[in-house]
Amino acid sequence: MHSNYIRRSRILAVVSLGTILSCSLVGYAQSLNRQIGTQFTATADPLVPRPHTKSCVVPLFTNYQFAFFSETTQNYQFAPPANCPGPWNKVVLDIDFSETAGRQFDRTASLYMGNTNLYFGTTPEPIRTAANAWHIERDITDYSALLANPQQGFMILQNCTTDCPPPYNTLLTGVFTVSASVEFFPTPGQGPAPRVADEVLPLVQTNAGGSNFPAFLFSPTDQFSTTFSLPQNIEQAYLDVIAQSQSTDEQWYGCFPNDLGSINEVYLCGNTDFRETEVTIDGQPAGIAPVSPWVYTGFLPDQWRPMPAAQTLDFIPYRVNLTPFASMLNDGQPHTIALSVFNDDSYFSAAASLLLYLDRGSAEVTGALTQNTLTVPSPVVSENLQGTSTVTGTIGVTSARSYTIAGYVKTSHGQVSTSISQQQNFSSTQTIDFDVVNFTVLDQNTDVETNVISSTTVNDNQGTTVIQEKFGFPIAVDFVFPTNTTFGFTVATTQKYTASKKVSVNGTVTDYTSVTNSVEGSDVTPPSSSQHYSFFDLNGRPYDCRIATQNNVLTSVSVGCNH
């Protein structure tokens, strides 16, 4: 269930997200309230860079309140701006949140255009004595094909106040007010517009009761899948994936192997601490998406107020390149694209969108998948524990794979071959010191790291393009019980999201992008946190912003945050 409290009995667990009813490289979650000495939510994240041209703003909805379960879904009607016709140079989604003073759980929020997800994130827990506000914006230019025609959309934010089940109906008072709009920047003059997907197709989970937004995956065998009838001139294909941990799996990075259930006293979850999203096409392994260790403000409220953890307010999708399978998708037959979460221990919420780039000079594109060495993961577990009444030692999990997926298509502009060589490396160490008789001492130090290194080589009649990408999102959490802090234990958390992309054409570097988002937080009295966000590319001014908090107020903002 959504919560900001600690369950205490024989078992101690940390819980914050779920539901009361059922117990691209860069993202931007920018607070407009970087006021030193205040508790307003603040991040070091930058705003979306915008062109210096006149834009058109299309409101989606204004000041919609999410107070009750009956108001969980806000529908809206969208129409593209007549005075800013496409193709667009850039398209930006803006969402403004406010939250009344009082008490409320952290909530999951998501926004869809049609059935396609454009935003997925969570909310901070409220300030007890003052209203709070924060701002989200996303570059959705890649999704421009969705915006060419009028359609209906919706936002989901499940909240409750007086309609909560007891005792929360008298405790929770926080109400969210949300406004959303889309800003369109026309392509100036006769300049070329950026190449964007020709079709954007959402995966949709349907059952006897209708469709789930987002989808729910309760076990490793659950699949979020959709069968498509696709165009037959696909040249490139990508899948944007979000997998959000919920309920038992909320702190999946602290989970134990199942054989240690008798001493699994902190996070309660099993199946080890290795999670990974597996992507398949017609049952064949087609790609992987690492599961991001997002930390929500309910874990712990004093640690993450006013500054949340990395991407807490705005999850960044992971893009899986499916281009080697283009020829297979072009055969005129229905194809099922699915994702599942390896070691899911109940449960994950998921969203995924298929982006297709078509050969506009051909009605049908042929080719072949020439290589696919991707297999299901086989993590290795090691347990080095000593003692019976007091158990100390380490639990380790590793997963290392190298694989290649390659294929080609015969297009109107010649044959295009794509080969993706990827390395996935996962490692974790849980260092524990547990009193398993009286449970008066529970010390668990978690250190989890996922790295993906990818090299994509594209050969066509223009030569050779090499795209090198690196992704990492490690997390370290030190949990100590007992202490004399507010919640009876202390937690120190460190995250460091890194992503880079280098593009070389015939040996010459044509593009480079790098982002690093480092976050630290501790509830050791006085609670404190800090964030350092840096971004660099070849096309603009670098961004480098640092903020820090102490005693739940913002204490410093660097000069670089204003650039």
Q: In 3-state terms, what secondary structure has residue 431? A: strand
Instruction: State the pLDDT at residue 14.
Output: 41
Q: Which of 406, 411, 398 is nearest to 456 (CA)?
A: 406
Question: At 13, is the pLDDT very low, low, confident or very high (cuts 50, 70, 90)?
Answer: very low
Element (H, E) at 329: helix 326-329
Query: For the segment 466-518, what is each residue's pLDDT rounded down to a tens digit?
Result: 999 999 999 999 999 998 877 888 999 999 999 999 999 999 999 999 999 99
Q: How far apart are CA 475 and CA 303, in angstroms?
A: 15
Q: In 3-state terms, what secondary structure has residue 497? A: strand
Q: In 3-state terms, what secondary structure has residue 278? A: strand
Query: Between residues 320 and 187, which one has the greater pLDDT?
Result: 320
Q: How far apart are CA 170 and CA 273, in angstroms?
A: 37
| Both structure tokens of 320 | 């899986």
Query: Alpha carbon of 436 to those of 8, 441, 489: distances in Å?
Result: 15, 8, 17
Element (H, E) at 326: helix 326-329
Type of residue at 168:
Y
User: Which residues of 129-204 form beta strands (DSSP E)?
Assistant: 132-139, 151-157, 176-186, 199-202
* Residues 315, 121 contacting (CB under 8 angstroms): yes
Q: Kindly report the CA angle at 404 between 401 and 408, in degrees rounded to 5?
A: 160
Q: Kindly report the CA angle at 422 between 220 and 230, in degrees rounded to 5?
A: 65
189's CB contacts (< 8 A; 6+ apart) are none
Domain ranges of the chain: 6-562
Per-residue pLDDT at 4 exceeds 80: no
Type of residue at 73:
T
Query: Alpha carbon of 300 to those of 4, 37, 194, 307, 312: distances in Å?
Result: 7, 20, 42, 12, 13
Query: Alpha carbon of 377 to those of 91, 239, 341, 342, 419: distances in Å?
Result: 38, 20, 11, 8, 21
Instruction: State the pLDDT at residue 12.
Output: 42
DSSP string, 387-425: -SSEEEEEEEEEEEEEEEEEEEEEETTEEEEEEEEEEEE
Element (H, E) at 327: helix 326-329
Element (H, E) at 328: helix 326-329
Question: What is the average per-residue pLDDT within 121-139?
Answer: 95
Q: Is 193 exposed, middle or buried (0-12, 13-18, 19+ CB in 10 A)?
A: middle
Q: How far apart are CA 15 and CA 7, in angstroms?
A: 8
Q: In 3-state terms, what secondary structure has residue 74? A: strand
Per-residue pLDDT at 17 exceeds 50: no
Dihedral sign (CA 218, 222, 224, 226):
negative
**How high does pLDDT run on average in the chain?**
92
Q: How far apart are CA 218 and CA 161, in angstroms?
A: 27
Torsion of CA 524, 312, 163, 18, to 10 degrees: -90
Question: At 244, is the pLDDT very low, low, confident or very high (cuts 50, 70, 90)?
Answer: very high
Query: For the segment 394-440, what is each residue's pLDDT rounded down to a tens digit?
Result: 999 999 999 999 999 999 999 999 999 999 999 999 999 999 999 89
Query: For the segment 370-406, what is each residue's pLDDT rounded down to a tens digit?
Result: 999 999 999 999 999 999 999 999 999 999 999 999 9
Q: In 3-state terms, what secondary structure has residue 279? A: strand
Query: For the segment 273-303, what is each residue's pLDDT rounded down to a tens digit?
Result: 999 999 999 999 999 999 999 999 998 888 9
* Residues 503, 467 contacting (CB under 8 angstroms): yes
Per-residue pLDDT at 10 exceeds 80: no
CA distance between the termini of the chain: 40
DSSP string, 184-196: EEEPPTTPPPPP-
